[in-house]
Amino acid sequence: MNLKTHQLSAAVFWLLIINLLLTPPLPAAGEEGDIYSKVPEKMPEKMTPLDCARCHYDIFMTIKNGKGAHRFPCMDCHETFHSFRRGMKYEDVLPKCTECHDYPHGKSPDMTACKTCHQKPHAPLASLDIEQLLPFCGKCHPGPAGQLKEHPGSHSKLSCNACHNKYHGNIPKCTNCHGTPHTKYVDNKGCVKCHPAHMPQDVSLPSNVPNNICAKCHPEPAKILAGSKKAHSKLHCVFCHSYKHGFIPKCQDCHGVPHPQSVIEGFKGCLDCHGNPHDLELAGEK
């Protein structure tokens, strides 16, 4: 026996051993029983969605967890199924959204590719993804988008999703970002009556704003007004500073010309004699 044949027979020996180890034993009859001694449960003639779900588990669960309006029997949408064959187009055996819905957002090319936004046909609302939606917000919501654009302020620099985050339709609290606002936060309604959400810098003042809100930032005139005994002290700041924040009325807007020309001649204005509008002490009255 030369060295070569010795090596060869050793290799053959080990191959045989490995082969033995890897080969599974033949099923010993009787151990698991003869599978053909049993009869399988037949798929029912008319399958229910639960039957479909035995194979299409994920789809069933998507519909179930989506909690949307598509929770009706599979076959209502899939009148035919398991009909896909070689040479066919896959999408031709599947239902089309437009068969039931037409084109709810119009026929512009952006809006006809339903699955760009409704990513899962079986849970069309739950699968709306706000990142995918972002390029289209303004198409469906021209009002907010227009305000942000036409009234450039700090909010215009933010993406829609910086505020409407997490899921489509989510409304943020102002205090998510404005931790300690200048008035007490109760709800957004309290803020947006002066600051429309999409153009907050364009402050509009309702006619019933209490003076203490203005006093926070304008303590001086507020103090003077509150301490005055004259008729103006009964008025709301916004009765005079109406319409827009920062608006300054003219005395004549309300009083016309109350004195004969001869009385006021030589004076620059009403305040020469009436002092401060928030106080109205005539010169020398105190």
Give, as ranges, the residues between 144 and 183 that touch ligand HEC (CB under 6 A): 144-145, 148, 153-155, 158, 160-164, 168-169, 171-172, 174, 176-178, 181-183
Taking CB under 6 A as the criterion, which residues in 249-268 touch ligand HEC?
249, 251-255, 257-259, 263-264, 267
- Minimum distance between the CB of residue 224 and ligand HEC, rounded to whole angstroms? 8
Interior CA angle at 75 toward 69 and 81, to 5°?
A: 130
Which range in 1-9, 15-23, 24-32, 64-72 contacts ligand HEC by CB under 6 A? 64-72
- Measure the CA–CA gap between 227 and 223, rounded to whole angstroms: 6
Minimum Å gap between C-beta 12 and ligand HEC is: 44
Under the binding rule (CB under 6 A), the answer on residue 52 touching ligand HEC is yes
Cβ closest to ligand HEC, residue 42 vs residue 231: 231
Which of 113, 207, 208, 262 binds ligand HEC (CB under 6 A)? It is: 113
Q: How far apart are CA 237 and CA 222, in angstroms?
A: 8
First to last CA, the chain: 135
Binding of residue 129 to ligand HEC (CB under 6 A): no
Between CA 115 and CA 132 the distance in angstroms is 10
Q: How far apart are CA 199 and CA 147, in angstroms?
A: 6
Looking at 119, 129, 185, 281, which residue binds ligand HEC (CB under 6 A)? Answer: 185
Q: CA torsion angle for 106, 108, 111, 116 (degrees, to 10)?
A: 170
